[in-house]
Amino acid sequence: MYNTAASAPTTTTDPAAAAAVLGIALAGVLISILFFAIPLLVAEWKLFEKAGKPGWAAIVPFYNFWVMKEIGGIEDWKFWVFLGGSLAGAIPFFGIIFSIVALVMEIMIIIGFAKRFDRDAGFWVLLYLLPIVGVFMVNKANYIGTASVDAPPAVPPVAPVAPTPPAPTA
């Protein structure tokens, strides 16, 4: 005689409230895109063009890191390890190891990229942690290319020394 279905509390979600929450979340995503992603892509585009690469490469995922690798003069295998580690990071348990390896390779690519724009290796921290600030600061730098980075330090030529005549004997 006791009806449990009638006594159980029920909750309903107001569709208008759900739509409002979804709208606020969508507005946050759009604001993030407008103020962070688009300026970052524009700055990367200009950097790639400054280095003689196609600017559109900045907007293609993973290919932009390939171009950064080329600009930085990094070996191909480091990019492939980065890519494999990034994709294998979803594997349970071992994924953390692959992710750490991918992070190390990513840092190496960013360091090489920063060096080509006359920035030291410590500049990668800014590029990695605050990319929007770092890319704009690198954009102010001059692209020095591969010659200045890979060349050994300049040593002034040594002038030839003329042989000294023997001392007169008395």
Count of beta carbons in the 10 Å neighbourhood of residue 49: 15
Count of beta carbons in the 10 Å neighbourhood of residue 23: 10
First to last CA, the chain: 141
Token representation of residue 65: 């890191």
What's the number of CA atoms in the CB half-sphere (13 Å) around residue 127? Answer: 24
DSSP label of 34: I
pLDDT at 165: 74
More confident residue, 28 or 152: 28
| Mean pLDDT for the stretch of residues 119-136 | 73
Place of tokens 């979340």: 25
pLDDT at 10: 61
Token representation of residue 95: 């994924």
Percent of the chain with pLDDT over 90: 11
Count of beta carbons in the 10 Å neighbourhood of residue 99: 16
pTM of full prediction above 0.85? no
Condensed to tens digits (0 to 9), the pLDDT of residues 67-120 reads 999 998 989 999 999 998 888 888 888 888 888 998 899 888 888 888 888 777
Condensed to tens digits (0 to 9), the pLDDT of residues 14-40 reads 888 888 888 999 998 888 877 777 877
Side chain identity at residue 145, one-letter code: G
Side chain identity at residue 43, one-letter code: A
Among the listed ranges 6-15, 19-28, 58-67, which one has the minimum average pLDDT value? 6-15
pLDDT at 125: 73
Kindly indicate the confidence band of residue 160, based on its pLDDT and cuts at 50, 70 and 90.
Answer: low
State how far the Cα of 147 lies from the Cα of 15, in Å rounded to an integer: 63
Contacts for 122 with CB less than 8 Å, ≥ 6 apart: none
List the beta strands (DSSP E) in 1-151.
none
DSSP label of 139: H
